Structure 1
Amino acid sequence: MPLYKAAIHLRKTGPKPATFRTAARLSQNIRVTADEREFSTWLLHLGNGTTAFVRDPNQLGDDIEAPHDSCFDGLPVNDVFGNASQEQRSRVILSPKNSDCLMINEEVMSKLPGDQRTYYRMDKVLTDDPAEAERYPLEFLNSLTPPGMRPHKLHLKSDSVIILLRNISIQNGLCNGTRLEDSMVSGTLIGKRVLIPRIKLAPSDRNLPFTLERNKFP
């Protein structure tokens, strides 16, 4: 059992774990609705490697054909968010690639009313040698988006929903995944106004011959 410092004693335990004589077996996924059963079955076959493959003579390897109802033609912004601003607070589009996330964010931002403002991050090369830092122009540093970092430019509009990607203050509900607008719209402090500072991040990237530091909003 996990142990926590200064935690209360919920129950006494012996030196051996308790023995449960009755085993419960889960045979039905109650979280899957009727209209999602086809997609859940396809995911099961995909994980088991029994999904049908489609061979394209113009490409190397085989392609997997996904269910038509689970695919979108173009960006799924309108299908996911709709036109109501309240729905944007509880919905999110997930993507395995940062490049796709950036493209979707730009599409969502273009559909919001109001003027767009751009905020710039500050970039520099972490080194004690000034000559080495001068080898990399600032324009080149601004064009980089290594893993764990956001782009150099941050585009925002009034009432646009943003998501924190770092833990800033757990006590105040400012955690990774918290959604904010002009005020907080998720978590235990909904409606509270908070101040988000700029922080310096310098993640390691083996593809770069130097360490990039970016002063940015998290």
Structure 2
Amino acid sequence: MRAYDDTRFADFILRVGDGNKPIIKDDIIKLPEDIVVANNSENDAKGIFIRKIYPDLELHAEESNYVTNRAILATTNAHVDSLNEEMIKLFPGESTTFISFDQTIDDTNSYYQEEFLNSLLPNGIPQHKLILKVNCPIMLLRNLDPSNGLCNGTRLVC
């Protein structure tokens, strides 16, 4: 985590938690200029942000430390999905698409259209369509083997 290595950032976070940080209005906090990603165009805001966190991705994509030592945190699953979609486009290499299994055990298929079922996004369940590239970072969503460190939230490389 950045707070371990960057004492200035850790102090900023502590001041925010204590309520001692300058507020613009209401509950909007004024961020220091050095942690703000400047953006002149709304059209490529995600791309600019990703390139700031993962500079020279094409050159370092095969280095596992490069992709696992960086992370983008988002507030909602919709933002996560949008950032993942943009990042997979920027990541070098050919993509492989995996589709979830589309068959029901009982007769509920006659009640719901397949497109509707595939659009549902329950918490903790991956999307219907998963697009991966070699060396791209992925996150484990289930405790597969806790004794060997394969737990929910573990960051891996494809």
TM-score normalised to the size of structure 1? 0.54
Residue 65, structure 1, aligned to residue 44, structure 2: no
User: After the TM superposition, which residues 1-218 of structure 1 pair with which residues of structure 2 at under 5 Å, given as runs?
Assistant: 31-33=4-6, 36-37=7-8, 39-55=9-25, 62-72=27-37, 73=39, 74-75=45-46, 76-83=49-56, 84-85=60-61, 86=63, 87-122=66-101, 130=107, 134-176=110-152, 177-181=154-158
- Give 1:32 shift: 4.6
Q: May I ask how many residue pairs the two structures share in their alignment?
A: 141
Structure 1 residues not aligned, in runs of 5+: 1-29, 56-60, 182-218
**Structure 2 Cα separation of the partners of residues 114 and 47 of structure 1:** 42
1:126-159 alpha-carbon deviations (Å, 9 max, x no partner): 8x6x3x5533211111111122222111011233
What amino acid is the match of 1:44? Answer: L
Identity rate, percent: 32
**Structure 1 Cα separation of the partners of residues 120 and 21 of structure 2:** 38
Residues 169, 41 of structure 1: alpha-carbon distance in 2 compared, 3 angstrom cutoff: closer
What amino acid is the match of 2:75? Answer: P
Greater percentage in helix: 2
Structure 2 residues not aligned, in runs of 5+: 40-44
**Structure 1 Cα separation of the partners of residues 121 and 84 of structure 2:** 15
**Structure 1 Cα separation of the partners of residues 128 and 122 of structure 2:** 11
8 Å Cα contact 1:161-1:179 kept in structure 2: yes
Residues 120, 51 of structure 1: alpha-carbon distance in 2 compared, 3 angstrom cutoff: same
8 Å Cα contact 1:53-1:62 kept in structure 2: yes
- Give 1:91 shift: 2.2
Matching residue of 2:42: none
8 Å Cα contact 1:145-1:151 kept in structure 2: yes
Asked which structure has the greater CA Rg, the reply is: 1
**Structure 2 Cα separation of the partners of residues 178 and 150 of structure 1:** 15
Residues 156, 41 of structure 1: alpha-carbon distance in 2 compared, 3 angstrom cutoff: same
